[in-house]
Amino acid sequence: MLIKNAPDLHSSEITDRRLYLNRRDFLRTAAGGAAAAAGGLAVAVGASATLAAQAAPHGRKLATVPSPLSTTSEKLNTWEQITTYNNYYEFGMDKAAPARYAKALRTEPWSVAIEGECAKTGTMNLEDVLKGETLEERVYRLRCVEAWSMVIPWIGFPLANLVRKCEPTSKARFVEFYTLADRRQMPGLVDPVLNWPYLEGLRMDEAMHPLTILAVGLYGEVLPNQNGAPIRLVVPWKYGFKSAKSIVRIRFVERQPINSWQASAAQEYGFYSNVNPTVNHPRWSQASERRIGEFFHRKTLMFNGYGDQVASLYAGMDLRRNY
Amino acid sequence: MNANQVVRRILKPAAFLAGLTPAIWLVWAAFTGHLSVNPLSDITNTTGIWTLRLLCVTLAITPLRRLTGWNALIRFRRMAGLFAFFYGTLHFLTYVIADRFAGLDFPDGIVALSTVRNLAASIGRDIYERPFITIGFAALTCMAPLAATSTAGMIRRLGGRRWQALHRLVYACAILGVAHYWWLVKVDLRPPQRYAAVVAVLLGARVWWAWARTPAPIRAGAVTRL
């Protein structure tokens, strides 16, 4: 259905579905073959696998336009880094588990339930969610609460567009986002480590902010399952866990939601969870971070470097209390 | 080959290789791209968990010897303990390099006296400020004198009784190690709980045996009544 929005994409450019579904095997074979041909050492296998992973197409391309809101000053993390190191507990707590187990996730058909304080409640197919949207490439820093970070070229559109389609009422002060919780497809759900389904929330003005997007892809391609396919939230000035993945339900509410991480440990994770180098996690410092792929730490930036655009949302608020 | 030679020539070298395996695996995985894209975190976690595992192995030897009657097991205890210290040291060094050194500012360049000073200050502050680091560092500190007095010469010099008393510190190491792990876990407490259960059983067995060895007063009473 995404292809409909991609008039400049020829059918010949679309990866065969079977090849797409088996893309990792294909890559592994290709990379292995290349390395064997080079007669390289074990180290060379690693290197050429990485090169192949960057050069070859992995899935279906998406037609996108660049965005002036992209962060252009920093080097992008690689496809491999972005798609093999994931926190997606529904597939297991190990960082490698999502890449291993999310392959089986069925993302078609997909629908999103629209509920709560809005005029247009009901169920929207993903096609309807995307109808009329121009997909933009948004390069954003992603700062995990665990003190590592990446730079990711997301593909998506402003959440505000979808919110407007839903016509929220004056009572809608917050928006809740629910991740899929399907035990048959998500092996991590057997562990009661968080309240499933995963719940995240934003204040209405945060949801309407132009930096807040719903992402459906990265690196110009359809979003890999382990990154939250088929549709996820991306809020670049907040810790990564605020950006709910594989969204099946959006609810407009009057009261501030208790997001899953806050429910799990309220003294460690709050509702706002804005990236803030001056407010430490009770057990570790948030003053610096390791950019994946780098050795020396970077100084963490207030609002993850997006303060110029978002600081005004929190004017007059005590960010030490509203962490 | 008699039993003694089997232990010395076959079983001990085999145990030594087994103890080195996690380290060898780490080096191999690091050079062949089998670690994650955050390899320093993998190395920290792997060396930490093996420290705990080998502490458990060390503590399991005496109970196993009692249960099986295989006394040659005692000859593997020192090796297990030294491997625990080895992985604990690697764990600490990884933390020093990847967590502390990598997070420093280098106002005078990397090769400078200020780097050494800032690194020491950074480690000291972290041990002071973060409780789970304090506990981990205490565990390693407790292991150091045990490793240093692990030779036959040191046992002789200290005398068996004093040596044994000192080496009871290993109980503290295991408890502190588990507490360190428990405290750092983000959400899923089950893995540290498993280690806590193992350590509890291994220490509990000692308490039980120590209690059982003391003649109970009721038994003495029963004898006099006869």
Give the model confidence (pLDDT) of B80-122 as tens digits: 999 999 999 999 999 999 999 999 999 999 999 999 999 999 9
* pLDDT at residue number A180: 98
* Side-chain-facing half-sphere of B12: CA atoms under 13 Å: 14
Q: Which residues of A touch B190 (CB under 8 A)?
A: 191
Listed residue (A92, A122, A123) closest to A105, CA to CA: A92
Query: Nearest by CB to A292, which of B32, B37, B183?
Result: B37
**Residue A197: is the preceding peptide bond cis (ω within 30°)?**
yes
* The pLDDT of residue B162: 96
Q: How far apart are the two ends of chain A, measured CA to CA in Å?
A: 39
Measured CA to CA, the distance from residue A287 to residue B103 in angstroms comes to 10
Q: How confident is the model at residue B3 (pLDDT cuts 50, 70, 90)?
A: confident
Cα–Cα distance, B96 to A212 (Å, whole number): 38
> What's the token pair of residue A251?
């609810």
Residue B116: count other Cβ atoms within 10 Å of its Cβ: 10
Burial degree of B84 (CB within 10 A; 0-12, 13-18, 19+) = buried
> What pLDDT does residue A60 have?
84
Question: Closest Cα to residue A150, out of A323, A306, A302, A294?
Answer: A294
Peptide bond into A109 cis (omega under 30): yes
Structure tokens at A176: 């809740």
Intra-chain end-to-end CA distance of chain B, in Å: 52
A15-63 tens-digit pLDDT? 444 444 444 444 444 444 444 333 333 333 333 333 333 434 677 899 9
Q: pLDDT band for B217, please (50, 70, 90 cuts).
A: low
Tell me what pLDDT residue B214 has. 65
Residue A229 has pLDDT above 80, yes or no: yes
Q: Output the pTM of the full model.
A: 0.84
The pLDDT value given to residue A141: 98
User: Is ipTM strictly over 0.90?
Assistant: no
- Residues of chain B with Cβ-Cβ distance to A96 below 8 Å are 36
Determine what percent of chain A is predicted with pLDDT higher than 70: 82
Report the mean per-residue pLDDT for chain A. Answer: 87
| Residue range A267-310, pLDDT digits in tens | 999 999 999 999 999 989 999 999 999 999 999 999 999 999 99
How do residues B33-65 score in pLDDT, each as one tens digit?
999 999 999 999 999 999 999 999 999 999 999
Question: Using alpha carbons only, what angle is made at residue A95 by residues A246 and B119, rounded to the nearest 5 degrees?
Answer: 130
Task: Convert A58-73 to b/e letters by CB count within 10 Å (16 or more is b).
Answer: bbbbbebeebebebee
Chain A contacts of B131, Cβ < 8 Å?
283
Type and span of the H or E element at A232: strand A232-234
- The residue to which tokens 């110009």 are assigned: A220
Q: Which of B38, B188, B190 sits opposite A148 (nearest CB)?
A: B38
pLDDT at position B224 is: 45
Strand partners, A175: A202, A252
A253, A176 contact by CB (below 8 A): yes
Give the per-residue pLDDT at A238. 98
Other CB atoms within 10 Å distance of the CB of residue B159: 10
Task: Using the predicted structure, report yes or no on whether residue A168 has a pLDDT greater than 50.
Answer: yes
Instruction: Give pLDDT tens digits for A96-139.
Output: 999 999 998 999 999 999 999 999 999 999 999 999 999 999 99
A132-160 confidence digits (pLDDT tens): 999 999 999 999 999 999 999 999 999 99
Residues in chain B closer than 8 A to A193 (CB atoms): 187-188
Separation between Cα atoms, residue B30 and residue A241, nearest integer Å: 28
What pLDDT does B31 receive? 94
- Chains A and B form CB pairs within 8 A to the count of 55
Any idea what DSSP says for residue A241? G
pLDDT tens readout for residues B108-167: 999 999 999 999 999 999 999 999 999 999 999 999 999 999 999 999 999 999 999 999
> Mutate which of A269, A296, A299 to disrupt the B interface (most B C-beta within 10 Å)?
A296
- The residues on A that touch B, with CB distances below 8 Å, are 42-43, 45-47, 49-50, 80-81, 84-85, 89, 93, 95-96, 146, 148, 191, 193-194, 264-265, 283-284, 288, 290, 292-293, 295-297
**A226 pLDDT higher than 90:** yes
Q: What is the pLDDT of residue B186?
A: 85
As a whole number of angstroms, the distance between CA B89 and CA B105 comes to 25
pLDDT recorded at residue B205: 95
A295 touches B37 (CB < 8 A): no
The domains found in chain A, sorted by start residue, are 1-60 (no CATH), 62-314 (3.90.420.10)
Q: What is the pLDDT of residues A178-196, one digit of tens each?
A: 999 999 999 999 998 999 9
What percentage of residues in chain B have a pLDDT greater than 90? 88
